Each structure stands twice: as C-alpha cells, then as structure tokens.
Structure 1
Amino acid sequence: MINKIIEEIEFSENLNGDETFEIYKECSILILENRHLAEKLIINILNNKDKFDSKFEEILTDLVESVGFYPYLEKESLVPTTTDALIRKNYYHSDYLNKYFHEEQKYLLSLLESEKNIIVSAPTSFGKSLLFEEIISSNKYSNIIIIQPTLALLDETRKKLLKYNNDYKIIVRTSQEPSTEKGNIFLFTAERVNEYNQFPKIDFFVIDEFYKLSGQRDDERSSSLNNAFYYILKKYNPKFYLLGPNIDGISEGFEQKYNATFHRSDYSLVDSKEINIYENHKDKFGVRGKKADFKEEVLFELLYELRDQQTIIYCSSPNRVRGVSKKFSIYLKEKNVPKSEVNYPLKEWIEEYITKGWSLLKCLNYDIGIHDGALQKHITTSIIDYFNEDKLKYLFCTSTIIEGVNTSAKNIIYFDSTKGGRDIDYFDYSNIKGRAGRMMVHFVGNVYNFNPPPIKKQIIIDIPFYQQNPIKDEVLIQIDKSEVKNKNSTQFKAIDSIPEGEKNIIMRNGVKVQGQRNIFDTLRSDIDDNYELISWDNFPKYEQLKYIFDLAWDNLIVEGETTRPMTAKRLTFMTFNYGLEQNINQLINSNFSYIRNLSSNRNKSDNDLMDIAIQGVFQILKHWFQYKVPKWLSVINEIQKFVCEERGLRAGNYSFYSNHIENDFLPENLSILSEYGIPRSAIKKLGVNIPKDLNQDLILEFIKENKLHLSKSLMKYEKNKVLNNL
C-alpha cells in the first residue's frame, strides 16, 4: 500500500487538493498503525513537497511534528500554529547548539544525562555524533576521550570541536601534555589510548564504531580497542557512550555489570530506495574477462545518466578504486564530456610533488574523486571536502566509506561484493547502503545493487574483555586475575606462567603475546653472536635493520593479516633507503623501477605501472612507516633493553630512529601539523621560520601571529590546508 502511494507521489507532476488530503489522511492513519511506515511516507512527502497543495500545509506540519522530525520543521519552514505544538518544538531545541533534535535524539540525550552508560545502535543518518557534541558544549565533563577507528575521522571531529578551544585543550598526539587550566578532549585511536601515560581523571568516554570491539569480525585491531576500553573503565570508571550502526545486541550481562543501557533504533530522517541492477543482467556480470568488462560498461552508462547528482561507488580494494575510476575518466573523455570547470588546488600540488602522470589528475579533470586507506591523509581530506562542497560528482571508495569518513550522497552504488578478500556480509552492506541520502540535504537516497544484497542476519557484538569466550592472549593478559572467568584454562595458565618482568613488558607493548615471547627467546640465544645487530641506536646500519625486521616479520604479524605485496626483505630495503633519501619522489621512482622489472607486469603500460607504484608507496607510508614499523621498533626496543640489562650489557635505543620514521623525518614539534592534514611539503617550508624548541601546542598560534601562511613559497593548496587550521 505505502509503496503504491510513494509511486503515485513520484510519478505525479502535481497533486490537487483532494489527492493531497487523501495522502495526508493515509499518513495520519499509518502513524497509529505502523509508525515506521508513516515515517517513511512523510520523508517521501517532504522529498516532493512542492507537488502538494500548499493550503494543507498546516496538516503536513502536524504530521511532521507527530513523528518527531523537528529538524525538518525548521528546514522546510513549517511553523506549528498551536501553543502546545510551539512548546513541544522548543523542547526539542538544543540547549547549547543552534539545532533541533529529532525525537529519538532527544530521548537518547535524556539517557546520556542520566546515571546510565549508553550503548546505541542507530542508522548512519541518525546523527549520533551530534549528541556527544551537545555533551561537550554543556561543559559538564572536564576530561573526555573520544576513540574513532581512523585518523581521518578524528581529524573531522577535531575540526568540529575547535569552537570549544576556550574550554578544552584538544589533544591528538601522545606527545602532548594535558592542560591543568581547562578541560581536555583526547581524540585518539585505540592504539594511542594504550600508549598514552598522562591521562588526568577521565569523566566521559566515547567509542565511535564500537562494533570494532568484536573479536569475531576479523579486525586485527580489536584487541587494542578492548584493551583501551578495559583500561579506561578499570582506572577511571567514567560515564561512557558507545555508538555504531545496525547492531542487534551485545554480550549478555555486560549492561548489568557496567550500569549500561543498550538502545537499538531504526529511526531515520532519510529513506533509501533499492534498485537491483543485477536482476536485469542475470549471468552477465562477473569479476574477470568479458563479464567484468560488461559490468563496468553498465556502471559507466549508469553514472553518465546520474551525472547531475552525486554518486559514491563502492569498490573492493584500492586497486579496484584506481582501476575503475581511471577507466571511467577515459569513458567520459571518449564521450566528449567537457572537462571540469572547477579549479582543484590539489592538482597543482600533485604535479609538483608526485607526478604529472598520476591518473588521479585525469579523474579530477572530470570531477571524479577516489578514497581509500592507502592515500595520504591530506589528499583524502581534500577529496572529501571537494565532494561535500558538491564539486566532485563521483567518489570511488573502498570500505573507508563505511568507517573512515563522514559523507553521504544521493546515490550509492554497491559495485563489488567483497571486502579484504571476503564476501561482504549484511552488516557491511547495511553500512554502505546507509550512506545513501543525507539528513537535511537528501530526503531519499538511491542504492544501486550490482550484486544481490547479503542475507539479513542478526548482529550480536561480543565484547571479549568481558565475555572472555573467545578471547585473544593480547586481551586476556591485560585483565586483572580476579576478573578472569576461567583460571583453569590452558590459555590463562600459559599467560600466568610468564615471569613478571617479561609479562609487564609484553602487556605494555600490547601486541602478540606468543610472538613477543619468541622474540625474548631469540634475543637471548643471539645476544652473544649478534650483539652488534641488537644494541644499535641513532640510525641503524642495513644489516641491523634487517635483523630487527626479520624478527618482527616472523613473530608480530597477526594471523590472517594481509601483507602482500610487502616482504620483510623489501620492507627493510625501502625503509633504509627512505631514511637516507627522505624523499617521496625517490621512493616512487624506486618502486616504479622495481615493479617494472617484475615479469607479471610486462604487458602493462608505464602509466599503469606508475599508478601502481604511487599506490604502493602511499600504502607503505601510511600502513608501514607511520604505523607498523614504529610499533615494531618500539616493541623490540623494550624487549632488547630487558635482555641486555639482564646480561649486564649496554642496551640499544631504537626510539630516535622510530620517531623519525613515524614523523616522516620532520622535527618532533612540527609533526603535529601532519595530524592536522597539512602536507609535508608545506611543513618543511613553514619549518624554516619556526623555532626548533617551540612547543607543539603553540605552533598554529605562531604561524598565525607571524602570518607564515601568507608566505610566497607556499602553493595555493598548501596555503588552504594551513588556513583550514587557523
């Protein structure tokens, strides 16, 4: 019935008074009989508001208000006419932000203001993050931690919260000290929470995308998140707010133990319409050969039809993102589509600091953007900014669109059906689908399925540190013995038998327990013959770095972790050479030469190989140099110190080299600018005029006061990235 009404609305040019009244009457009946369907119908009415007879606007206002869509009353200039309705509308206005809450947001806010801890599952377009901004703006809590899974998300949050600088110091790096004069907001990944040792008393704790706690969702970082959550709960017992989408439940008993309420909601101010493209092309789509080519042809034709609307295209990997977006730019060129009139400052920077041959430049010429986990941070933030500013029409993405960024579009295309080598499940599909439509922008979004959607299954998120079945060694070792549920298990007995000194180091390092134990054993057996390879400091020799990386590669890689195409030998070679050259172009050219000589690449053009080389280098910089390598060096550094000291030998110190790698060989105080999405090229230029001993917390203020952002040496792109932070 409701679908028929929505079709009638969609296909009508105008609806007369009788038709308008009948639809509004059906809607009012639905509110009593099926609230969810009523909400769906109201969203579609608002999407076509101009088609309805305006003399019944008072009824529409009542309908919108009756389902609690208060933000839309304001957006659509629908003014309640009764005193009661005006009082209700005012009740839903934020006390601190110039916004109206919808009905479910207001309810959740009341829970957050209670003594309960809150765990929320709600759709992507719900506006969950607005609630913790309301809490922050209330100044109720002095010290707040917000954990998000990616640095890109954290940077978005940082920019939103800059307005609270007078009340809070915003901390994004583990080298920053908390303020004693005002509150502190720590914007950290789980790993950074575990590394930080200067927390004051924490009052409020937020985990965004809390489903990553699950030990059963194939996420290598779940142990870090469990350890961060357990540590903060145990030490500070703060009020917590966990938020995420499309979850049906959590570990049984967790709510009772931690005075928490799990609230699941399907409430949404956005509707989505699914169009099953695959049904019209049964047995014609595939992943290889002619079927893959045909699938791409159908995609390109659809994107061309949708060229007046914004569209996000989900692809399975960075390779797919680069390959399909590049082919689409060629498709548009062959159709004689005019090049974009938008001047993207990013293009000039790419030509100067990467290469003029990168396919992203050709994509930007046709308003095509790409987004994946391998891109440099400042590039991804620029791409998302261009998309959110309605400049880019198309965005080819990997699963970063699910958890790495806040954006939506009128259209979502579910093009590939895998993620990280496994099939997309219903949970991931729902999150991709949830990007269709945008509250306060698009009432209705379209989801184009090029693959059959996965079968719906109930999603229960386990919390391993509480449930402890199953539980990884890396989590179990952190739990107080009094809280271990099965002290007779072989797993616990093995952990409990580790000598106290070793155990403390293993716990602090927070990575593979058995791997670290193996490293202890190897260093003890090698210390006599390989002492020189172990006890280095400053910059290592090639053989010293090779010894450490071989040790880490053999013992610290997590089961199921994807390392291809990297090898221990190649990682040593690239890390050592980058330490000497400290030049991204040199790294790209070296990688290009390497892959050009591979037999598997003989039939590929130099342009294609350059794309592969650039992607590979960005992946190395982001995943290996800024994450894995510093962590591995830190872990083995602590173990070798212990082993050397127990033998009465002088220990090495890898910290200097590790910090240089992680900070991209920038001075320690300037590396905070990288966190703010400012490219290394700009930081190097700015650094010439910034005192080397200036505290990192004062860097932006110094740049502003001395007008360094106006320097003629900075490109327009670089100036924009600096200005965005001033």
Structure 2
Amino acid sequence: MEELYLEAANYLNCENLDFEKSYFICDACSSLLGSEDFETKGRDLLIRSIDASSTFHIGVKPMLNDLIECAGLYPYLGDVDNEISALRKEYHKSRYIEDVYLHSSQQQISEILEQSKSVVLSAPTSYGKTLLIHELVSSHRYRNIIIIQPTLALLDETRKSLSKYKDYKLIVSTRQEANHEGGNIFLFTAERVLEFNDFPSIDFFAIDEFYKLSITRDDDRAIVLNQAFYKLLQLTKNYYLLGPVVTDLEDEFKSNLNFEWVKTDFATVAVNEHYVGEYRKNEEDKKKMDLYNLLVGLDEPTLIYCSSPDKTKELASDFIKFLLNQALSYPSEQNSHVVEWCRINIHDSWSFNDFLLQSIGVHHGEMPRHLGSTLVDLFNNGDIQFLFCTATLIEGVNTSAKNVILYHRKKGPKKIDFFDFKNIAGRAGRMRKHFVGNVYKMEKEPDQLSFNVDVPIISQKNAPDDILMYMNQADLTQDSKNQIKKYDEVDLGLMTLVKQNSGMPIDGQISLVEAILANEESLRGLLCWTGYPKYEQLATVIDLAWTHLLRNTDTKGRVWSSKQLTFYTNLYFQSKSLGAFIARLINKGNSPEDAISIALSTIRTWFQFKLPKLLITVSSLQEYVFKENSGNYNYYATQIEHGFLPPNLSELIEYNIPTSLAKKFEGFISEDDSIEAIISKIKNVDWGRLGLIPYEELLLKRLIE
C-alpha cells in the first residue's frame, strides 16, 4: 500500500495527466481509503489530488468528486449530480452557519455535543476544532459559555470571529459585568477565570489546547489552568476540551469524568516535510544564508519559527541586509500606515519599520497587542510575505501560511519536544486556502514520543500543593489530605487569605509573611504605604515579591533582578507612556533598539500582567500582618496595569486600541461608563477634532463595526 501511495503521489508532479494516470491516482485513493490501516494516507493523497485537480483528465473529474464525498471532505465537495449525494452533502451542511459544510468527523463530534454530552478531542491542527465552538454558539443551545484559550493572540482571534453573534455579550475582561437578561460568552485566560467572581449560571465551557493541563511539560501556567478547570467543573458538567496530537488520556481522567474521548488523524490539508539540514554551532552564518536563499525562492506566505523575540529581530534584520546585497526588494507601501504610527509612538529608527516596508514582519509576545493583531491581518491579506515568529503565534492562531520553516529547535531556553514540533508543522497550509502546506526543517525534528495527558486536579497524582489546596476537602483522596496536612498548623486566617490570592504560590505567600514578621519593625515604614511609594518602599515590596512569589518556571522577560524591575517600574511611572518610557531608557544609555525591546517586553510581561498581581498579593499579606496600620497598594497597581488610563478606558486595549489612542478619548468618557458605553461614545465623537492618523482611524473603524 505504501508503494501504491508513493507511485500515485509521484504522478501528481506531472503538468498534465492523461486519462490512464488520472484514473490510476483516483483508483489508488479509493484503495487506500478503503483500508483501515491506510485511510489517513488515502485522505492525504486525495487532498493532494484536489490541489492538482486542474491537471487531471476531464474524464475522471466526476470520480474525484465521488472520492471527496467518500472521504468525508464535504467542505471540498463541488456540485453533485445525483439525489443521494445531494442529500449527504446537505446533511453535512451547518444548520447554523451560512455557507459552511462540516467534514464527516466534525459532523460526528457536532452530533455528540448537540446531545449535551461532553467531548475531549485530539485532532490535527487542520481539523477545524474551533469551528465546532462556533457551531455551538450559533445554535444558541447554551445561554452562558466560557472559552479558555492560552494566549491573548488566540483570544483576540476568537473575539473577532464571534463578534457577529449579537445575541451574546462578549466578555473579555474581569471588569465587565455579565448580561443577566441575555446570553454571555466569556473569552478568558485561565487567570481571568480565577479572578472573575460573578459568573451567571454557566451552561458550557471549552478549553482550547487542553494538553496544557499536564504538569509534565513544565508549562508555567499549568497550575493555574488546573485550578480554572476545577472551578469550571463546579459550574457545569458540559464541556469541550480540544487540542492536537495527544496520544491518550490517563485512566483516572477517563474514569472520574463523563465525556466522549475522540482521537482522530482526520486532516484537511496535506503537508510536505522538507529536510534542509542540520547545522553545527559554528555554522550559523551558513544556516542563515540557506534560510534566506530558501525564502527568496518561495512565492507564498511563509512563517519562520524562531526561539525568542531577539532571534526574530536578528534574523529579520540580517534578511534585510541579504536582500540589499542581492539587489532584491519586496516593497509594501500598504504597510506605511502602520509604520507611521510606530515612528510617532515608539521610535523613528525602530527596525520593525524597515521590516514592514519590505513585506517582512516579526511577531512575538512582547509586541503591543494591537500590533500583534495587525501583523496577523497583514500576513493573511498578503501585505506581509515573511513572518518571523515565536510560539506565541504558533499556538493556535490561524494564518494563511503556505510554508513554515523550523529554524530553531528551542522555545525560549528549552528544547521543543515532538509535541511542539507537530504544533509548529501544523501551521503549514490552511483549509480551503492552501490544500498542501510545506514544512522546511533546518533542525532535526525531536524524537516521536507518546504523550498521555494527566490532569492532576483530577488524578491528584504528583499534584503540587497549590492544586490540592484549591480543591474542596470532600474531593481529596486520603493521600492528598496527608500531603497538605502540614498546612493545618498555619493560622486559619492566613490560609484563607492565601487561597484567595489565586495563582500565587502557597508556600511563597506563607514564607513572605514569615519574613515580614521576622523584621516587623524595620519593615513597617517600608511596607505601610498607600497611593504612591517612595523608591525604597517600592524596592522593598518588589524584592519581597521576587524572592517569595515567583516560581522557577515563571518567565521574566528582560528583567534579571528585583532591583532592575524596581528601576524600570519607577522609570515607567515617571514616563506615563510607551514613547516617553523608551526616551528615558535611551537617556539612561541604552541604544534605541535595546530601549524599545526593554520597554515592550517589560510592559507586556510585567506591567500589564505579573507586577500588578504581585503588588496586590503583597498588599494583602502586609495588611494581614499590620492590620489597621497597614498600607494599600491597589491604586498604584491599577495605575501600572492600565497604563495610567482610567480602568474602564483601558479595556479598549482588549479591543486592539493602543493606550496612546485611548487617551485621546479620556475627556469624553465618564469613570462609570461600561466598555459598551465607551464604544458608543467613540462612535459619536467627531474624530476630525482628535488629529488621528490613518492607522488609528483603521483601528477605530474595526472597533465600532
């Protein structure tokens, strides 16, 4: 059978196929599809045949259509000429989404979900797993839905695609209130699920990339995701967990929860894997030249996977130099409106500007959210041809990439595993856009290992204390009770507070309180402050948080010590804007490029995420120690987190509005306005009075659509 596949696939390279070869390929597809062991190969060959269908002899076109139906690839099925086929095609047409057809495996899962059964699905990247969420939403079967996704980039993509369902209120921040009159869709990270305490009656939840529940892969957010999963299971027993290439689930997970476990290899695109070569450490220059020569030979949109933000910039910068040396150019004036904004609000000489004007982009987690979203749009629209990216884009965000290049074999400092590799490779090709994708491997792919997902909040095997302490006593096994019995000796009031500080390490909080108590008098003046701290007070709080509350797995961005974080925080507070922060960093001796990298990274990693949570946690713990004489850091933490905007106005960041643009509407907004009221007021403001540039107008038009 393997020989049959290879022979037929080889014929597909011909420019024009005669009847005999065309028939042979179709017959090979039929034979492979009819074999249980080779069905996946048969579907792969058929997808390649669809891609090359213009070269087929016209006499076999009806046979090709029959094979598409036989394989269950109804989204690719053309007009049918008999009543039975027409009925089958109609059966796979979405009942709720216009002009959408489900493939046969999607239809199977959809029917299970429609029976109010839960599903855990492992399927290839091209399967179309998130389409089933859209199918459920559009059916209006459930009134209140929670969707957890691992990255803000993925949540942003989901928000945009679900915004057409006007019967639901989309809730994307913990400041928003649920609509108690109609339906709600909560688009949250795991952290926000834990922080939100006013859920209405929840009917259904979905967890995308559910494999991140496993603690065996050293994911720094696995503990929080487990806690969120546990919280959601208290709210509803109807759920859909989705992810790629999971081998199996641990027995305890299967036996303790009621769901349908579906593992399928059903793919809707075929992928060519090209091995470019392996390179020694001293061959980096050769590796780059091979990459750049490969890129200029590719005509379709291409993702280049890199290990870190710095590597995306380094490779893109050197690619620009390569193009100049080769007298090559990929000019893209369509991106000039974005470049204009960057020059005004970030820096005139930022290398990112040069990249965009040559149809090159860099995408990573340090980018401002609106720029990250804009880059994906530009790439999908063809205005960027080469996108150097990190795992932030690889994990779930759909793009129009025809080609993916694995340049590095690391994700940050860690080596990627086979699971990461399949996730990266799965970005090549796109259903109904590129039938066949290409993966170019410039590193040896990791060894293929089975990956069984264990969920410690369910199995309680090897579960950290932070997970077990989050659970109800009645749900704990005797071994788990014994494991956490040591906390019975801790003051009940402190343990109650520690549990309330969701996502923060339990032992770290306890040790932090012990550290304060051991130096209570000397720390009193340094910790008991409200409003704005003096430099020494800020340094003390951050040092305590750094020492006691950061886990070994926590990402720290470009900050290496508590002193450095204190310095950047104070400088940011003096600056009050991204542009001013960058200018001050330059004045402190950093190059413009380094200053930009430091500013973007520190704002995204620390100021908008980690630091406010750390400040509020330390605030609550010093309040426990000092009681009525304590301080309160909440106002300061809120100022940092929201970029010195009123908290309600800062919610516009969730909708890809930069802080600098949101500030222009500060005079039109009341402090008690909801985000819906703010968007309505923005719609009615005379934008001509605000001196907006084209990119800002584009972002606002997308906001009010």
Aligned pairs for 1:14-29 (under 5 A) are 14-29=16-31
Aligned pairs for 1:112-191 (under 5 A) are 112-165=113-166, 167-191=167-191
Distance 1:442 1:136, change over 3 A: same
2:637 is aligned to 658
Aligned partners of 1:576 and 1:528: how far apart in 2? Answer: 25
Matched AA of 2:579 = N
Distance 1:626 1:569, change over 3 A: same
Q: CA deviation at 1:92?
A: 0.2
Q: Is the 8 A contact 1:686 1:708 kept in 2?
A: no
Q: Is the 8 A contact 2:256 2:458 kept in 1?
A: no
Distance 1:408 1:252, change over 3 A: farther
Aligned partners of 2:498 and 2:691: how far apart in 1? Answer: 47
SS at match of 1:447: strand
2:668 is aligned to 689
Aligned partners of 2:454 and 2:587: how far apart in 1? Answer: 46
Q: Is the 8 A contact 1:117 1:258 kept in 2?
A: no
1:603 is aligned to none
Matched AA of 1:332 = L
Pick the aligned partner of 2:694 from 716, 720, 724: 716
Aligned partners of 1:523 and 1:443: how far apart in 2? Answer: 61
Distance 1:480 1:713, change over 3 A: same
1:674 aligns with 2:653: yes
Aligned partners of 1:404 and 1:148: how far apart in 2? Answer: 9
SS at match of 1:263: strand
1:256 is aligned to 255
Matched AA of 1:273 = N
Aligned pairs for 1:37-186 (under 5 A) are 37-73=41-77, 78-98=78-98, 99-165=100-166, 167-186=167-186
1:342 is aligned to 333
Matched AA of 1:143 = N
Q: CA deviation at 1:529?
A: 2.8
CA deviations over 1:55-84 (Å, ceiling 9, x no partner) = 3221111100000000001xxxx2121111
1:537 is aligned to 530
Aligned pairs for 1:360-371 (under 5 A) are 360-371=352-363
Give the length in aligned residue pairs: 696
Q: Which moved more, 1:13-22 or 1:411-420?
A: 13-22
CA deviations over 1:137-171 (Å, ceiling 9, x no partner) = 11111111101111121111111111112x11111
1:606 is aligned to none
SS at match of 2:16: coil
Q: Which runs of 5+ in 1 are unaligned?
A: 597-608
CA deviations over 1:20-66 (Å, ceiling 9, x no partner) = 12221222222212311110111011110100012322111110000
Q: Is the 8 A contact 1:487 1:493 kept in 2?
A: no
Distance 1:570 1:62, change over 3 A: same
Q: CA deviation at 1:619?
A: 0.8
Distance 1:621 1:44, change over 3 A: same
Q: Is the 8 A contact 2:205 2:239 kept in 1?
A: yes
Aligned partners of 1:112 and 1:412: how far apart in 2? Answer: 33
2:575 is aligned to 581
Aligned partners of 2:584 and 2:614: how far apart in 1? Answer: 24
Q: Is the 8 A contact 2:170 2:186 kept in 1?
A: yes
Aligned partners of 1:426 and 1:651: how far apart in 2? Answer: 50
Matched AA of 1:509 = N
Q: Is the 8 A contact 1:527 1:534 kept in 2?
A: no
Q: Which moved more, 1:373-382 or 1:559-568?
A: 559-568
Q: CA deviation at 1:408?
A: 4.4
1:401 is aligned to 393
Aligned partners of 2:153 and 2:682: how far apart in 1? Answer: 23
Identity level (%): 38
Aligned pairs for 1:408-419 (under 5 A) are 408-419=400-411
TM-score by length of 1: 0.93
Q: Is the 8 A contact 1:535 1:653 kept in 2?
A: yes
1:218 aligns with 2:218: yes
Q: Is the 8 A contact 1:226 1:475 kept in 2?
A: yes
Pick the aligned partner of 2:620 from 615, 629, 638: 638
Aligned pairs for 1:179-328 (under 5 A) are 179-234=179-234, 236-278=235-277, 285-287=279-281, 289=282, 291-306=283-298, 308-328=299-319
Q: CA deviation at 1:427?
A: 0.3
Q: CA deviation at 1:595?
A: 6.1
Aligned pairs for 1:620-639 (under 5 A) are 620-639=602-621
Aligned pairs for 1:436-447 (under 5 A) are 436-447=428-439
CA deviations over 1:592-636 (Å, ceiling 9, x no partner) = 45564xxxxxxxxxxxx4323212211100000011110101111
Q: CA deviation at 1:256?
A: 2.8
1:725 aligns with 2:678: no
Aligned partners of 1:708 and 1:526: how far apart in 2? Answer: 57
Q: CA deviation at 1:715?
A: 1.0
Aligned partners of 1:619 and 1:326: how far apart in 2? Answer: 19
1:605 is aligned to none
Q: CA deviation at 1:95?
A: 0.7
Q: Which moved more, 1:407-416 or 1:263-272?
A: 407-416
TM-score by length of 2: 0.96
CA RMSD of aligned residues (A): 1.7
Q: Is the 8 A contact 2:404 2:438 kept in 1?
A: yes
Q: Is the 8 A contact 1:202 1:238 kept in 2?
A: no
Distance 1:721 1:456, change over 3 A: same
SS at match of 1:724: helix
Distance 1:255 1:521, change over 3 A: same
1:615 is aligned to 597
Q: Which moved more, 1:584-593 or 1:188-197?
A: 584-593
